[in-house]
Amino acid sequence: MINSLPTIILCCGWNGKRKCRSFTRKTDGALSEIKDFDFETEFKIDGVPVPDSTYDHNLATMANYQGFPLILGGLNLSYQGNNKLELLNTIENPPRWVEGTDYPYSNR
């Protein structure tokens, strides 16, 4: 939830190693009620601002920890891995990334 809106967050794609996009429903109702899913009809893109992450997380996987988006590791521009952990504090307005301690079990 961001600003009391159920929000999908996708971050750190191939061309946007720190960039995040938000997706919120244009209408109320359960997704299970949709018969012919059309993404652009169902979702508003970037209606909720989400800041860029502090570190490159290219090819990393996001997780949900107690309702907060969490991202660990990834590749930087020189294809070196990192062990950086960030959590998106969605309670603050605007949301901000909070850096955690480095992941100690990395082979970096």
The full set of domain ranges for the chain reads: 7-99
User: What are the tens digits of pLDDT across the range 83-95?
Assistant: 889 999 999 988 9
- In this prediction, residue 55 carries a pLDDT of 87
pTM to 2 decimals? 0.79
Confidence of residue 25 (pLDDT cuts 50, 70, 90): confident
- Mean pLDDT, to the nearest integer, of 67-96? 85
**pLDDT band per the 50, 70, 90 thresholds, residue 5:** confident
Tokens of 87: 């959590």
All residues at 6 or more sequence positions from 75 whose CB lies less than 8 Å from its CB, including other chains: 17, 56, 58, 59, 81, 82
pLDDT digits (tens, 9 = 90+) for 32-57: 777 777 878 888 988 888 999 998 88
Q: Return d(Cα 84, Cα 80) in angstroms, integer.
A: 12
